[in-house]
Structure 1
Amino acid sequence: MCIRDRYTAEEFNKFDNVSWANHIHPEDREKALGELRTFQEKENKFRIEYRFRKKDGSYIHVEDSGVYQRNEDGSIRKSFGVMKDITGIKLASEKLKESEARYRSFMKNFRGIAFQMGLDFTPILVDGNIEETTGYRRGDFIFGKADWYQIVHPKDREQLFENRERLVNDPLLLIEHEYRIRHRDGKLRWVREIIQNVSDPTGKKRILQGTAYDISKQKEAEESLAKVEEIRKKEIHHRIKNNLQVISSLLELQAEKFNDIEVLEAFRESQNRVATMAIIHEELYRSKNNETLDFSAYLQKLTADLFHSYTVRKGDVNMQLDIEETFLGMDTAIPLGIIINELISNSLKHAFPSGRKGEVCIKLCRTEENSENKSISKIINNIDDKSSVDKNIQYTLVVSDNGLGFPENIDFRNTSSLGLQLVNILVEQLEGTIELEICSGTKFKIWFKETCQSSEKVSSIKGEIQ
């Protein structure tokens, strides 16, 4: 037997029942002797487990099993048995139980949901804070009483399917995304899911594994902060607009003290430049999204104000607008607005002298984004998918008139005109390019990219201001 390496055979053969019983661990002794008495009374075989003291005083786990030979009257004549050292098995079993207990404790306190599923999206394992997050029990998902995809908000379901299909097709992909689910009580909740490919326990098959966390409170806090920030920004735009209007009024009052035509013209041009910026802040104040400006609506108001400023007689000069509905960030809208203000002002001042009739045209359109600059990341994050940020859209602005034409002896890139100097500086600020065409009038073409925000909606607006 295995304990002979602790006791010699001669030493062990000297053990009587009392000596043997004294070698059983005190915590196991009563139970082991009680089980043994039960076997002796009723059975022909026995099997018990207990801790046995070794020669050095330490204990090992043993399995003591054997058979009884009985006399005709049922009394025991002899017993044959084996004591086997099962310490390794016992310790492994105890560690397994401890590990299982730790896992149960971890999952009990885990604030999310852990899951595994096959590549066909069939649930394999679901555990964690399931009932609090969804209102359903663990078994509802495992046994098909509840379907995770059915509780996902219909508007988020398609994106969820697409992302998981990507996972199936790309073993190295990790996806983190957010979407809404419908709790059993009918309320919507936000969850953040992180999911990736792993190997199953055999190491032969690929499965999907991930976690999902309820982030509803975080989303509510973010929405509250966003509303506060939106109100704050609107108030800032409103104050800037009011301050610019005060400046414009001061310029107008100051201009009344002068009679010189050139001085008055300089004041009017300055007023128009201030108004150009004021209108942008007014539009941002009124818009639902105070980060971007509906530039097409802004241009209609700007050009109408310019016609009023230069007191163009109705029917003499028409304004033609051919503008795509374009949403621009303030960093692009302000310099672009000033550029258009200067070019339109030049046309109204110089292209149609002595009551000459004609028209001024503005065309704004965008080209397709440069697909060559796109890259595909191995980590897909769709948290900000709804952002309007797009740095790859190029716009073309054309401001033209059919008036007298631009003087051939003037280089518009190198002139003493403050207005044209501003145009060139601001085009450079937009990292754009500008060209002049002189053919039956004047035509300026400007190409630029939106550096902050871009349009998600594109439609055509064509109108006429007289």
Structure 2
Amino acid sequence: MIRQGERKHELNKLREEINILKKEIAELKESAIRYKTLFESANDAIFVMEDDRFIDCNQKAAEMFGCRREDLIGETPYEKFSPPFQPDGQPSQKKALQKIKAAFKGQPQFFPWTHCRLDGSLFETEVSLSLIEIGAKKSLLAIVRDVSARKRAESALRRAQEHYQELFTQIPIGLYSTTPEGEILDVNPALIDMLGFPDKKSFMKIKSFDVYVDPQERETLKARLEKDGVVYGYQVRFKHRDGRVLWVKLTTRAIRDNEGKIIRYEGAIEDITQQKKSEEALKQSEAFLENVLYSIQDGISVLDPDLTIVMTNQVMEKWYTSNLPLVGKKCFEAYHNRNQPCHPCPSLRCLESGRTEKEIVPGLKGSPVEWIELFSYPLKNPITGKIEGVVEFVRDITPRKKAEELIQKSLKEKEILLQEIHHRVKNNLQIIISLLRLQASSEKDNRLINMFRECQNRIKAMAFVHEKLYQSRDFTRVDFTQYIHDFAQELSTAFGVKKKGIKLKTELEEVELDINRAIPCGLIFNELLTNAIQHAFPEGRAGEIIVRLHWEEQGQISLEVWDSGVGLPADFDLEVPKTLGLMLIKSLTAQINGQLAIGTGEGTSFKIVFPG
């Protein structure tokens, strides 16, 4: 019975041991499954190494190295799957063995490593080596993480930081960062130079509100930043280190923490002192020009290309009070009560030609300005040359027009009076000629009769001038060409030239003379032509006389009488004239500042040249 009980006890004990063993086996299986799941689902490559070779790896390792698991098992990490040298210049084999050796000594290793895939492409990794024991055997657990993407991101971030730092340093606009309390966190060289500090260290010692001329302006900026978060183009006055005042333009944003509290301000500062000075100079210039514009007593009106009024001075507003406001209306509407442009319109011509145009036009009906003189000047873009408008300069010429009307009326009266005077002078001279003719008819002495006839012709020469004057529209100048032509015909008829067989020709250019020269020139012509008709062709001899009136060089006029007659007497001496006719010719030539020349080649020529 005892032995049977002992056997039963041993059997129960054995059953308990078997159950414990089964439980341990189940736990081991469960642990192996968990290990396998973790091993395969890891996002990093995991290797198990004996000595310096891989004896196992997960699927991620095969994917990372671009091969199959079979390609990895049995390989070392430094032969097929690493370049010959690492980035630090060390041979991959030597460096890898050093790390493996240290890990087997129980010193965990963590280091960067450049691996290569099966196709030879390189990629950056981080490797950790840990000593593990599987049973009684020591192995290494190697975890390899692909950090290529992170390295690229870090490189890009580093380049961006370098670019930002270069931009921060080199940009000619001031950049800054400050706390709400005024502590300066950072400034760039441009801002240091802008405010006259020798270096960044000295700048960082001040508070941001120290540079404001009026610290309240900073408080205003802070309030706007609290409300809007960002402020653009805030113009404020800063103090230069030497005491000068600078105008600056700020663009600033507020940086907040996770709780929404402002922790700092960042922004850009641009020095606009010169711009402000230019703006102030422009304002002063505009004010000056406006004062000039309003001080001018003539009307000024500026039009755009479609004839819309864009500016006027007070004179125009005074003249056209009934059509106020003028600005915004078309000029023909405001100034002429028309619905289309006037004709002729100097401003339209100015826009087309690009030149200054002028016109005299009637004023607005019912306005005291009855007549205006309008000058239109083109407004050209100084860069493109394009006409961008017209400036109308308007002058009230109503008093002038009325004065001109009075002058015209008075002038007409004087013209009538002068015409009557010339007519009466001519009639009086004709009476004298008639008296001389009557006196001559009662004389028997031929010498006296000829003297009377010569006097008649001389007076007739003067009367002829007055006749031409009262027949002319211009009572101050005589058409001397017509005078020579008509008076030559008059003398030709009086002396019966055709009956004597003498041909009279004229070669005349257009010449006008004032009365002070017309009368002496008429007397000279009378003497020359009368002398040629009476003395060049004695005893019924036939011949030719040519009268020439020409313009010479330098504005001189020449009057010439040429004949083909017998020539001058042998004792003829111009310096000692023996006849009244020659004495008159010489005296009258000097009176008109002329020169007398006598030619005796082919025929005889008397030529007088005098200023035109």
Task: Supply the AA of the counterpart residue of 1:329.
Answer: L
CA drift of 1:273 comes to 1.4
Q: Which residue of 2 aligns with 1:239?
A: 421
CA drift of 1:136 comes to 3.4
Q: Is the 8 A contact 1:399 1:445 kept in 2?
A: yes
- Aligned pairs for 1:294-313 (under 5 A) are 294-310=479-495, 312=496
SS in 1 for 2:258: coil
Task: Supply the AA of the counterpart residue of 1:279.
Answer: F
- Aligned pairs for 1:107-186 (under 5 A) are 134-136=346-348, 141=351, 147-148=352-353
Q: Which residue of 2 aligns with 1:358?
A: 542
Change (3 A) 1:406 1:240: same
CA drift of 1:435 comes to 1.0
Change (3 A) 1:351 1:201: closer
CA RMSD of aligned residues (A): 5.5
Q: Which residue of 2 aligns with 1:445?
A: 606
Task: Supply the AA of the counterpart residue of 1:249.
Answer: I
1:276 aligns with 2:446: no
Q: Which residue of 2 aligns with 1:324?
A: 508
What is the distance in 2 between the residues matched to 1:227 and 1:412? 51
Q: Which residue of 2 aligns with 1:70?
A: 256
Task: Supply the AA of the counterpart residue of 2:353.
Answer: W
Q: Is the 8 A contact 1:237 1:281 kept in 2?
A: no
1:434 aligns with 2:572: no
Greater relative contact order: 1 or 2 (C-alpha under 8 angstroms, separation 6 or more)? 1
CA drift of 1:302 comes to 1.3
What is the distance in 2 between the residues matched to 1:245 and 1:190? 49
CA drift of 1:79 comes to 3.3
Q: Is the 8 A contact 1:344 1:360 kept in 2?
A: no
What is the distance in 2 between the residues matched to 1:322 and 1:221? 48
What is the distance in 1 between the residues matched to 2:564 and 2:377? 56
Q: Is the 8 A contact 1:230 1:290 kept in 2?
A: no
Change (3 A) 1:306 1:22: closer
Q: Which residue of 2 aligns with 1:94?
A: 280
Change (3 A) 1:52 1:72: same
Change (3 A) 1:10 1:135: closer
C-alpha offsets along residues 259-310 of structure 1, whole Å, 9 cap, x if unaligned?
3544443333223212212212322332345554333321232133334555
CA drift of 1:438 comes to 7.4
What is the distance in 2 between the residues matched to 1:304 and 1:84? 95
What is the distance in 2 between the residues matched to 1:267 and 1:113? 73
Q: Which residue of 2 aligns with 1:419?
A: 581
SS in 1 for 2:555: coil
Moved more, 240-249 or 102-111: 102-111
What is the distance in 1 between the residues matched to 2:567 and 2:485? 24
Name stretches of at least 5 consecutive residues in structure 2 with no aligned partner.
1-191, 303-309, 313-329, 333-344, 362-372, 385-390
CA drift of 1:346 comes to 2.5
Name stretches of at least 5 consecutive residues in structure 1 with no aligned partner.
115-126, 142-146, 153-177, 184-188, 195-199, 203-210, 371-390, 453-466
What is the distance in 2 between the residues matched to 1:216 and 1:22? 54
Task: Supply the AA of the counterpart residue of 1:448.
Answer: V
Q: Which residue of 1 aligns with 2:452?
A: 267
Q: Which residue of 2 aligns with 1:174?
A: none
SS in 1 for 2:573: coil
What is the distance in 2 between the residues matched to 1:294 and 1:77? 101
Task: Supply the AA of the counterpart residue of 1:79.
Answer: Y
| TM-score (norm. length: structure 1) | 0.55
Q: Is the 8 A contact 1:181 1:190 kept in 2?
A: yes
Q: Which residue of 2 aligns with 1:48?
A: 234
CA drift of 1:15 comes to 6.5
Q: Is the 8 A contact 1:69 1:78 kept in 2?
A: yes
Match of 1:395 among 544, 558, 566: 558
CA drift of 1:424 comes to 2.4
How many residues of Structure 1 are paired with residues of Structure 2 in the alignment?
352
1:409 aligns with 2:594: no
| TM-score (norm. length: structure 2) | 0.44
C-alpha offsets along residues 393-444 of structure 1, whole Å, 9 cap, x if unaligned?
5535133254x654323334423210011122333444223214276xx622
What is the distance in 2 between the residues matched to 1:101 and 1:335? 65
Task: Supply the AA of the counterpart residue of 2:487.
Answer: L
Q: Which residue of 2 aligns with 1:345?
A: 530
SS in 2 for 1:136: helix
What is the distance in 2 between the residues matched to 1:318 and 1:59? 104
